[in-house]
Amino acid sequence: MTSKLSRLSLFLMLTGTVLTTPGHNSSAHPKVTRVIAGWQARAIGVQLKADNANQNGPCPITINFRGYIKSSAPGTVKYTFTRSDGATAPVFTLEFKDAGIQEVTTSWTLGEPPVLAAYEGWQAIKVLSPNQLESNHETGSFAIKRSGGKEKPDIRFGPATPVTVMPSGTTPGPQKGKQTGDGQVSATDQRGTFRVTLLGFVVNHETRDTLLETDGKRDEVFQAPVVLTFDRDRGLETQTFSAFGPVYGDTNNHPTVIRAGTASDRGGLRTGDSFPAPRPWEGRTPPGPGLGFPAVLFEGELRPIHNAAIIIPSLWEFDGSAELFTPYMDMIERAFPTIRINVGHILAVDDHFEFRARGAEGFGLENAVTLDERIIDMRNRPIGMKRSAPGQFSFNPQVLVLTYEGARDALTRDRGFGPGVIEVRYDEPQELEGSYSIYLKVERVP
């Protein structure tokens, strides 16, 4: 089992890289920097996992395992493999020229038992030096069921096979590699290109509008997404920032507004409307990036443990004044150091990697923009504000972090809107009335 020490070490390694990214002021986090320096010489993490943990078929059956060893500093790491049947492998050596990750593989072949119809076991990596550490037996577990094949009076367990070592700096992953001529799985750098599309929205309840509806009938809205990427080597980078899309709603007196909604013959969004289709979660991916509906918010390569995409979606109610937009973006920019640390924590520690909406508090984005209560208010504002004080409302955006593992999980997970589609809902108190759902879809790009 990966120890708490190894998890903390990887977290510190990831966030430490961010804190020393060129242009970032690491002195703003002196406590974190001192902790990183203290652990640097012994920070090692390990994991081993079966490519196919559940197999049925005729014996012999070969279970291929893929794993990695992480070091936070240059040096020599000695390790071996252990198994549930007590067999051991030779001692292997990895040379780390720099802090990083190296991938290893091995396999276990089981023979043709006459009586045993099923078998469960595990295999693990055991680091011998510079410190002792063993990977999680549960993560390295597998189960087989025998079917057919010629029966023999013994059970054959093949010896642990030599490992294939990836160069320093590559990243691990659960995906299968290519088979070589000798039947072994060659180690390949696991990665994939994924896309996140904002498909559209549903008006669960329209917002409180200005008394004179000078902006048009009922609601007019636009999206203002923030898209960032985190890379263990490059730190945090902006992809979409301080930008917003076209306004959708009533086109009356607004030639640049795109018609949407049923509040009048010229549009206007009211309770029960949806855009751009009655069931927007079934929409198709647009041909390229944009800020409308639908729109590609992110498309790029993701690698296990190494990087992630951060999406902060927001839908704004349009009333004419952009007074609140700049303070909102300024608040997000000030939160970049906290976002870096939190995403590093998710990559290093989070066991689930689920692509889901996360609260603003963990990313330093609580009360990202505030709105004082007025009888007549002509300011554009994000939908989803909450009362934070008497006479005042605040907006806490929701944050989505897409990792390699989370993207692969999302492709097969159906939350009621189809595989890969999630709903992000912004609800408001009675005074503001609004409630909107937006729908995002994760896809793998060939």
310-349 pLDDT, tens per residue?
999 999 999 888 889 999 999 999 999 999 988 988 887 7
- Strands 54-57 and 141-146, bridge-based pairing: parallel
- Strands 61-71 and 44-50, bridge-based pairing: antiparallel
| pTM for the full predicted model | 0.60
Kindly tell me if the per-residue pLDDT of 211 is higher than 80: no
175-190 pLDDT, tens per residue?
333 433 333 333 345 8
Q: Which is more confidently placed, 229 or 158?
A: 229
Identify the residue whose tokens are 């590699």: 177
218-262 pLDDT, tens per residue?
899 999 999 999 998 888 999 999 888 999 999 986 778 999 999
How high is the pLDDT of residue 64? 85
Kindly tell me if the per-residue pLDDT of 437 is higher than 90: yes
DSSP letters, 170-221, are ----SS---B-TTSPBPP----EEEEEEEEEEEEEEPPPPPTT-TT-SSB-E
Give the N- to C-terminal CA distance of the chain in Å, as an integer.
35
Mean pLDDT value of segment 188-217: 81
8-57 pLDDT, tens per residue?
455 545 444 333 333 333 333 333 333 333 334 454 678 888 887 887 77
How high is the pLDDT of residue 376? 58
83-128 pLDDT, tens per residue?
887 776 788 888 878 777 888 888 887 764 444 467 788 899 888 8
Q: Which is more confidently placed, 260 or 63?
A: 260
Q: What is the C-alpha to C-alpha distance for residues 62 and 109, in angstroms, rounded to an integer?
A: 4
193-202 pLDDT, tens per residue?
999 999 999 9
How high is the pLDDT of residue 189? 57
Please report which confidence band the pLDDT of residue 75 belongs to, taking 50, 70 and 90 as the band edges.
confident
